[in-house]
Amino acid sequence: MTRSTITTGTTTGTATATRYDRRMYALMNRREAAALYATAARRRAVVGAHVLMTLASIAVWLLMVLDADALWPAFVLLALVLPWCVATGAINAATRGLLELRGRMLDERQLAERDRVRALAHRITTGILLIAAAVMGAVTWFADVRFEGLAFAALFSALVIHWVMPLWVAGIRAEDDEPDLYGDPVAE
């Protein structure tokens, strides 16, 4: 570990930053693909595409589990991986690594924003799970449909949505970049 001065956001602080921390910070702050997320509309489009690809991946994976003999879902899943990763990278770049960087690499404003994003994502996920439980309960109660066979699929879907919801919320909440007036924020 080395001791270095790190500039993040608008403040400069002294922190213990490893080579991994500096590399991730540099990676999350690259601007080559900035055209993908330069405006709020483009960020919403990338997040929307990411949501659709995530839901499609869940559906295809569940088809693979339910019909182990079918080979086509595996190819569809493989085809979804690359664009899903590109969209994930674009969202992470738009948020400048808000959720991926360690806390010591973020300033106070970024730490507070990360806490707000996680709290909002938690509330959204809780609402989705509440609605899903209520719908499944109502269908079971009134229509006498049993969901025992789908319990794993429902839990897996909930886990995936819980996992990526903070990324989606951060991508939607990200603001447009301000012009770079002070140069490269990473002290080498």
Determine the Cα–Cα distance for residues 38 and 170; give it in Å rounded to an integer. Answer: 15
Q: What angle do CA 179, 48, 44 make, to 5 degrees?
A: 25
CA distances from 7 to 15, 61, 85, 185 (A): 10, 42, 28, 5
**Please, is 48 exposed, middle or buried when counting C-beta atoms within 10 Å of its C-beta (0-12, 13-18, 19+)?**
middle
pTM of the model: 0.78
| Residue 74 CA, distance from chain mean position | 23
Provide the pLDDT for residue 188: 43
pLDDT by position in tens, the chain (length 188)? 333 334 444 444 445 889 999 999 998 988 888 888 889 999 999 999 999 999 999 999 888 877 878 889 999 999 999 999 999 999 999 999 999 999 999 999 999 999 999 999 999 999 999 998 888 888 888 888 777 767 777 888 899 999 999 999 999 999 887 665 555 555 44
Predicted pLDDT of residue 15: 56
Residue 135, pLDDT score: 86
